[in-house]
Amino acid sequence: MQLVAPLEMMKLEEQANKQGVTYDMMMDTAGNGLAEHLIRIAGKYQVTSLLFLCGNGNNAGDCFVAANRLSGQFSVTVGLVAGIPKTRTAYTKYRMMQNVNVITEQAKIEEAIRKHTLIVDGVFGIGFRGELTPAIQHLFSLIDEPEKHCIAVDIPSGGSGLNGSVAAGTPVCDETITFGAAKPGLFLSPLLEHCGKIRLVDIGIPQEILNELSFPVTIIDEERVGELLPKRPMSGHKGMFGRLLCVTGSRNMPGAAILSARAALRSGVGTVCVASEINVCKILVGNTPECMLLPLPTDQDGKMSQLAAAPILEYIKTGCASVLIGCGIGQSDTLRHMIPTLITQIEIPIILDADGLNALANSIDMLQKAKAPVILTPHPAEMARLLHTTTEEVQKDRIGAAKRLAAKFPKAIVVLKGAGTIIAQADRAFISTTGNSGMSKGGSGDVLAGMIAGLTAQGIPPLDAAQIGVFLHGLAGERCAEDLSRRAMLPTDLIEHLPEIFADYE
């Protein structure tokens, strides 16, 4: 599914209008599509009356078309919460309504909300900015009852279609019927929790116009992953599925090395070698015997010393297909110097996670000298350090933040973790639809890094490997939540659910 930011959507509609698909035609198509969904929903809940809450913009016009269409088989009420529509097209549709009860007084609208169980939110559309008024917040609070069902038109009122933020009082909807193309914010938290099931209505914008988007954003779903994940040859051998080097772990963080290595192995890589501190290697012998080991020179704190660079580069020459750097390696002045230097010398895909990213924070421009693709996997705070901004600014526009970082470095692929993980290159982005808050535990990122690294080592193109890894990592989280609860699930449980997930695809 292609996603289009609100401002881009307005431009697309403008172009379509110039090419003969007029605003009037698009509103009719949107309204009729909305009506079809409402017929289905009314049947599901066995209701015979509907209430539309409408603002004074074009979002209301879509509702007027639907209300007029439905008035022949339902009792339909339209509540104008902001007076008569102000746009010409919406006003035309308003005047065309027949057999529809129109109310404008706050008290009567409140009474209608209490009376109806199926309510359509058409107050604000994708152009909303600012805060909801206390009066509108009060109206939406009346919908927040177990027996009531709210359906959003294009976007829940108060939500941002760009970054997924919500104003106070934004209603929680059962479904969101969006038009033309889905908006990125619908798949980003916290707005995602207000949308319910997201349905798309085609309003007739020509595909050639959609194809002209300068920065396309696409949903990663099960179908897409099925297309990207290659079939595993029946006659394959370990050499065919790649060798991965994991430069991970340190004396105080051996678990990161274990989690990432096990995740890579469960993702199908042929062989894994963990390059780490000697005690981490000893732990891995008993915990993950499938791994090969490369003990590294360390300093007195059990972190890699400057002498570790040579054996890492030497081992890569033995036929490694990708290298993971960063999970649990810790932070030191030596690492802040060594990791950027390694990036400029390694000629196979690099997955840079956690402390590997932190080591790069003050020398990010070294990515310009990278000889191979580099997959960066920051969480929002790490992204903020890489962009020299704040976590809050990153979260305000997650897609924009990922785009800014990726646009600086032609070989970079940015995986911005969080609810609605973003995968971005300089000219495009993807949003994952899987995952949950139960994955918000230390170690989940190590699992994801290992999965992406293991997939990349198998020869899967880095951008595809990032998409597959992120989606299946989130899917494992969903399976864990079903079996174990979000509260009790652990990162190790994510790894244990990978076999059944890959079995489903096979």
Query: Is there a domain that residue 70 lies in?
Result: yes
Instruction: Examine the domain organization and report whether 313 and 168 are in the same domain.
Output: no
The pLDDT > 90 percentage for the chain reads 95
Q: Is the pLDDT of residue 175 over 90?
A: yes
**What is the helix (H) or strand (E) element at residue 363, kind and residue range?**
none
pLDDT digits (tens, 9 = 90+) for 442-472: 999 999 999 999 999 999 999 999 999 999 9
Q: Is the pLDDT of residue 396 over 90?
A: no
Give, as one character, the DSSP assignment of residue 302: S
The pLDDT confidence band at residue 80, using thresholds 50, 70 and 90, is very high
C-beta separation of 426 from 434 below 8 A: no
Query: Is there a domain that residue 35 lies in?
Result: yes
Quick one: which of 254, 309, 312, 311 has its CA closest to 285?
254
End position of a domain, from candidates 162, 180, 210 = 210
Instruction: Examine the domain organization and report whether 336 and 422 are in the same domain.
Output: yes
What pLDDT, on the 0 to 100 scale, is given for residue 254? Answer: 97
The CATH number of the domain where 251 resides is what?
Answer: 3.40.1190.20
Which CA distances in Å does 344 have to 10, 314, 338, 340, 372? 43, 15, 10, 7, 9
Q: Is the pLDDT of residue 490 over 90?
A: yes
| Helix-then-strand count for the chain, H and E | 20, 18
Q: Is the pLDDT of residue 246 over 90?
A: yes
What pLDDT, on the 0 to 100 scale, is given for residue 149? Answer: 98
C-beta separation of 416 from 393 below 8 A: no
Instruction: Examine the domain organization and report whether 409 and 461 are in the same domain.
Output: yes
Query: Is there a domain that residue 44 lies in?
Result: yes
* Dihedral angle over CA of 124, 126, 132, 133, nearest 10: -40
Q: Which amino acid appears at position 31 of this protein?
A: G
What pLDDT, on the 0 to 100 scale, is given for residue 214? Answer: 80
What pLDDT, on the 0 to 100 scale, is given for residue 29? Answer: 98
Instruction: Examine the domain organization and report whether 46 and 181 are in the same domain.
Output: yes
Instruction: Examine the domain organization and report whether 237 and 183 are in the same domain.
Output: no
Query: Is there a domain that residue 9 lies in?
Result: no
Instruction: Examine the domain organization and report whether 393 and 487 are in the same domain.
Output: yes
What mean pLDDT comes out for the span 482-499? Answer: 98
Instruction: Examine the domain organization and report whether 256 and 190 are in the same domain.
Output: no
What pLDDT, on the 0 to 100 scale, is given for residue 151? Answer: 98
Q: Tokens 């990213």 sit at which residue? A: 357
Q: Tokens 């170690």 sit at which residue? A: 443
What is the maximal distance between C-alpha atoms in the chain?
Answer: 82
Which CA distances in Å does 355 have to 34, 195, 358? 48, 35, 5
pLDDT top residue among 235 and 355: 355
Q: Is the pLDDT of residue 2 over 90?
A: no
Q: Is the pLDDT of residue 211 over 90?
A: no
Instruction: Examine the domain organization and report whether 292 and 345 are in the same domain.
Output: yes
The total of structural domains in the chain comes to 2
What mean pLDDT comes out for the span 184-206? Answer: 95
Q: Which residues contact 313 (CB under 8 A, 6 or more apart)?
A: 342, 345, 346
Tell me which residue range forms the domain holding 66: 14-210
What mean pLDDT comes out for the span 224-231? Answer: 96
C-beta separation of 416 from 380 below 8 A: yes
C-beta separation of 85 from 61 below 8 A: yes
Q: Where are the alpha helices (DSSP H) in 412-490?
A: 444-457, 462-484
Instruction: Examine the domain organization and report whether 374 and 483 are in the same domain.
Output: yes
Instruction: Examine the domain organization and report whether 230 and 91 are in the same domain.
Output: no
Query: Is there a domain that residue 280 lies in?
Result: yes
Identify the three-state secondary structure at position 431.
strand
The CATH number of the domain where 116 resides is what?
Answer: 3.40.50.10260
Quick one: which of 366, 361, 351 has its CA closest to 386?
361
Query: Is there a domain that residue 1 lies in?
Result: no
pLDDT digits (tens, 9 = 90+) for 270-321: 999 999 999 999 999 999 999 999 999 999 999 999 999 999 999 999 999 9
Query: Bridge-partner residues for 423, per DSSP?
Result: 415, 430
Query: Is there a domain that residue 4 lies in?
Result: no
Which CA distances in Å does 346 have to 319, 330, 502? 12, 21, 30
Q: What angle do CA 116, 120, 126 make, to 5 degrees?
A: 155
Query: Bridge-partner residues for 429, per DSSP?
Result: 217, 424
End position of a domain, from candidates 181, 210, 239 = 210
Which CA distances in Å does 339 have to 111, 144, 316, 342, 410? 65, 52, 15, 5, 19
End position of a domain, from candidates 210, 242, 268 = 210
Quick one: which of 61, 58, 13, 68 has its CA closest to 38?
68
What mean pLDDT comes out for the span 115-140? Answer: 96
Instruction: Examine the domain organization and report whether 402 and 471 are in the same domain.
Output: yes
Instruction: Examine the domain organization and report whether 235 and 110 are in the same domain.
Output: no
Query: Is there a domain that residue 53 lies in?
Result: yes
